[in-house]
Amino acid sequence: MPEDRLFGPLSTTPEMAAAVSDEAWLRALLRFEAALARAEAKAGLIPVAVAEEIAAATSAGGFDLTGIGQRAAASGTPVVPLLEALRGRLSPAGVQSLHRGATSQDAVDTALMLVARHGLELLAADLEGLAAAAAGLARTHRATAMAGRTLLQQALPTTFGLKAAGWLVAVLEAADRLESYRRSRLAVQLGGAAGTLADLGGSALAVRQALAEDLRLAEPVLPWHTARARVGELGAALALAAGTAAKIALDVILLSQTEVAEVAEPAAPGRGVSSALPHKRNPVLSVEAVAAARGVQAQAGLLLGSLVQPHERAAGEWQAEWAAVSESFRLTGGAVARMREVLEGLEVDPERMRSNLAVTGSTGSAEALVDLALQTYQRRRHD
């Protein structure tokens, strides 16, 4: 994972970096412990006063994040040292009731879902902005003739509006994919030591239901300790969103070549400066989006590979997911935000597009296709 201060600003946004930061993960782990205590109190397994004590301890702040991380190496999970820190704040009754019936993976997986929810909310806002910008370009340039290019060679005429409409539809599909995941696949994890909920007895299912309701997460049919399709789907959906942004970025890069010069990224002081060639105006935002998408694709491969896990507990596969999920959000957030900024301020040169046309002729049904894309966008906005 890139170190935040030097490489981080090239690949993400401050908001997304904060959403998947160590501090965000810690808050999510603490939310799990507080919600679990409340759920167990609701089921009559622990006193309400003890649950309130545990919740107060989790919200008091002052946790040594660096120390917890350093001690996590001894147990392979940050949950063990975090629980040690919490026990130091609790009465004997609180110590006895803390984390009752749960395992470290229950805490980490639920925290992952909470972190993912915030990341998905941030992505939804930027994808909506990106879609709006693409729709504006499609509408404005519905009839702006330009060269259609296949295998990087001029083919038949098309319109820039149709190119932007293609971007629009792809962005809408990426947004719908992530929204569907947010609505249906963010689920609580609670299975106990071997996925049987043995330590919660006859109250196990009631506790799980109350925990899910408290955290506003779905309740799965079964614990998913080694059934990792849920995480693989997330990685794939993020990679598709980042790839969608990067496809737009590559189009912008190619259209802004000196010999083509049909579009340019929005100008800003210092942006696109070359250390060796001061006259250049490099499409840096689009370059950063392409680079970020490459990184997300690598993380998606890791997450999909982690579906193959042994028996009831992973032996390294699950542990590999944590950083991969965070990095996927960081990079996808960066790619989408970069291209939103690009399209919102994209400089388009219709005269250059027309002069670059090597062949003349009809643009076919390009304008009608643009209208279809815009109708789809408008319906989605009003749903």
User: Any idea what the CATH number is for the domain that residue 233 is in?
Assistant: 1.20.200.10
The answer to whether 334 and 16 are in contact (CB under 8 A) is yes
The answer to whether position 245 is within a domain reads: yes
Query: Is pLDDT of 94 > 90?
Result: yes
Helix H or strand E encompassing 148: strand 145-150
Range of the domain at 185: 103-200+214-382
Residue 5 maps to a domain: no
Is residue 274 annotated as part of the catalytic site, yes or no? yes
Question: In the predicted model, is pLDDT for residue 1 greater than 70?
Answer: no
Q: Which of 100, 313, 352, 354 is catalytic?
A: 313
Which entry of 274, 355, 380, 381 is annotated as an active-site residue? 274
Q: What's the chain's average pLDDT?
A: 95
Are 151 and 362 a contacting pair, CB within 8 Å? Answer: no
When pLDDT is averaged across residues 18-22 and rounded to a whole number, the result is 97
pLDDT interval class at 382 (50, 70, 90): confident
How far apart CA 69 and CA 77 sit, in angstroms, is 9
Mean pLDDT of 159-173: 98
Which long-range contacts link 47-52 to residues 24+ away (Cβ below 8 Å)? 47/93, 47/97, 50/91, 50/93, 50/94, 50/97, 51/97
Please report whether residue 134 resides in a domain. yes
Domain contains 376: yes
Give a yes or no: residue 333 inside a domain: yes
Average pLDDT over residues 20-45: 98
Q: Calculate mean pLDDT across residues 79-95.
A: 98
Report the pLDDT averaged over residues 169-198: 98
Note the pLDDT tens digit of each residue in 333-368: 999 999 999 999 999 999 999 999 977 778 889 899
Count of the separate structural domains present in the chain: 1
282 pLDDT above the threshold of 80: yes
Asked if residues 292 and 301 have their Cβ atoms less than 8 Å apart, the reply is no
The DSSP output letter for 66 is H
The predicted model gives 170-190 an average pLDDT of: 98
> In the prediction, which pLDDT does 272 show?
61
Is residue 39 within a helix (H) or strand (E), and if so which, with residue range?
helix 22-42
Of the two residues 317 and 156, the one the predictor is more confident about is 317
Report the distance separating Cα 376 and Cα 245, nearest Å.
19
Q: Residue range 33-39: average pLDDT?
A: 99
The pLDDT tens digits for 239-277 are 999 999 999 999 999 999 999 999 999 988 766 655 555
Percentage of the chain beyond pLDDT 70 is: 96
3-state secondary structure 230-280: HHHHHHHHHHHHHHHHHHHHHHHHHHCCCCCCCEECCCCCCCCCCCCCCCC
Tokens of 233: 């789907």
Kindly state whether residue 250 falls inside one of the protein's structural domains. yes
Is residue 16, in this structure, part of any structural domain at all? no
pLDDT-wise least confident of 60-74, 98-112, 248-262, 267-281: 267-281
* pLDDT of 5: 80
Is residue 32 situated within a structural domain?
no
Lowest-pLDDT range, 53-57, 134-138, 298-302, 376-380? 376-380
374 has pLDDT over 80: yes
380 falls in which pLDDT band (50, 70, 90)? confident
